[in-house]
Amino acid sequence: MRNVVIAGYLRTPISRAYPAKPERDAFNALRMDECAARLIKELLRREGLDPGKVNRCIIGCANQSGEQWLYGGRAVSLLADLPYTTPAMAMDIQCGSSMGAVHAGTMEIKLGYSDIVLAGGLEHMTHVPMRHGTRPNPNLLRQQKFDLKKIGKTVEEMYFPEEDRYALPSMGDTAELLAEEANISREEMDRWAEKSHRRAVKALKEGFFSEEILPIEVETGANGKTVIDRDLSIREDTSYEKIASLPPAFRENGRITAGNSSPLNSGASMVLLMSEEKAKELGIRPLGSIVSLGWGGVDPMFMGKGPLPASLMALEKAGLTKDDIDFWEINEAFAVVTLWNIKQMGLDPEKVNVKGGAIALGHALGATGARLVGTLARILNHEGGRYGLASACIGGGQGLATIIKAYEPS
């Protein structure tokens, strides 16, 4: 099979989302399908690539309702001025959607069906809040696919009459269960959250993110405009003490808080994938190579365990061990997820999320997977690593993983 390389990577800044107060989101006047299209145009411009050479455009999004209805991916590809002859695809694997897009594109190229694939994702959590437009099948609860006893609820208590719909257990509920089962303390999670912000602040000040962020001009009211060129959830003034002072977010006397969880966010990301042969033909120096892919399923009530089977699969398929991996990106949906997976795999925490994670940078659901892959490729180049592994937990009890190698011409 052919080698697949990351020929380019670009993302928007990640804004803070405020579903109840939309005017507070810096991206409130924007649509993320438009932003994803901007990323495509800029990537192609930078590489001097004819849009007609792109064989597929694959777009991930966790909640494809409202303005995030992707029209099978065509909404973004057409806005990006890709020709009608370039097919598209929409991908939904919840928080792993855009990593799934990278996986699909990688497999197309490896098998010789495509030479060039754009793979990315988007989410506007102010305009399309979590659960917006969803109506879960109540039989998922009645047939005990989710063990509600673990969170002290009955099926009837999961019904919201004002919306005439049932809800599934929240991701916060699953994080509480994982922390309780593994006896991961509130202090451990709060200290990891503080470290995430500290690392992100350092990377921000060093200009690390400027090479992957496309600045976005936004309206500020009264005909004013400003340019957003950094992630807006990074807190330069935070401390362990401030994080530790926050109340539990999901249950009384719980361990999960707003401080040790990822915030609500809006953003888009895009990875340009190519066969190594095509990159050489075009004179493009890749950021890295896609070495291996992995996925796995776990109990939905412990969705934070998902990265473990996915990472083990990716390592096995690559013929590697955890000791071969120089840097890890384990998505910080919650601090407990990253900590649990570090402990289960016996990882060195100093090699995990070295530029900060989603607690600080933000977690725009459908955009996160491609961000993890693209940022990790840049970390390998920046820090001199050879192999990196990016992984994400996924609502519903799944995990995805991608192993990247710093580019070495074959």
What is the structure's pLDDT at 410?
A: 76
Let me know if residue 156 belongs to a domain. Answer: no
Which residue range(s) make up the domain with 120? 4-128+264-406
Let me know if residue 258 belongs to a domain. Answer: no
Let me know if residue 231 belongs to a domain. Answer: no
Choosing from 57, 61, 95, 127, which is the catalytic residue? 95
Active site residue 393: yes
Within its chain, how far is the Cα of 281 from the centroid?
Answer: 31
Phi then psi for residue 334, to 5 deg, are -145, 150
What is the structure's pLDDT at 223?
A: 75
Residue-wise pLDDT for 255-289, tens only, equals: 999 999 999 999 999 999 999 999 999 999 999 99
What is the structure's pLDDT at 90?
A: 98
Q: Is the pLDDT of residue 25 over 90?
A: yes
Let me know if residue 286 belongs to a domain. Answer: yes
The overall pTM is greater than 0.95: yes
Q: Is the pLDDT of residue 220 over 90?
A: no
Measured CA to CA, the distance from residue 105 to residue 268 in angstroms comes to 17
Measured CA to CA, the distance from residue 134 to residue 64 in angstroms comes to 10
Residue percentage of the chain with pLDDT more than 70: 100
Cβ(209)–Cβ(230) below 8 Å: yes
Let me know if residue 148 belongs to a domain. Answer: no
| Secondary structure of residue 147 in the 3-state scheme | coil
Q: Is the pLDDT of residue 171 over 90?
A: yes
State which amino acid sits at residue 74.
R
Let me know if residue 305 belongs to a domain. Answer: yes
What is the structure's pLDDT at 409?
A: 83
Q: Is the pLDDT of residue 296 over 90?
A: yes
Q: Is the pLDDT of residue 222 over 90?
A: no
Active site residue 35: no
Let me know if residue 301 belongs to a domain. Answer: yes
Choosing from 103, 124, 127, 363, which is the catalytic residue? 363
Let me know if residue 171 belongs to a domain. Answer: no
* Mean pLDDT (whole number) for 3-10: 98
| Secondary structure of residue 387 in the 3-state scheme | strand
Active site residue 103: no
Residues present in the chain in total: 410
- Whole-number average pLDDT of the chain: 96
* Mean pLDDT (whole number) for 217-239: 91
CATH number where 103 lies: 3.40.47.10
User: Count of domains in the chain?
Assistant: 1
Assign 210 a pLDDT band (cuts: 50, 70, 90).
very high
Residue-wise pLDDT for 60-108, tens only, equals: 999 999 999 999 999 999 999 999 999 999 999 999 999 999 999 999 9
* Beta strands 15-16 and 265-275, pairing class: antiparallel
Residue-wise pLDDT for 373-392, tens only, equals: 999 999 999 999 999 999 99
Residue-wise pLDDT for 119-132, tens only, equals: 999 999 999 998 88
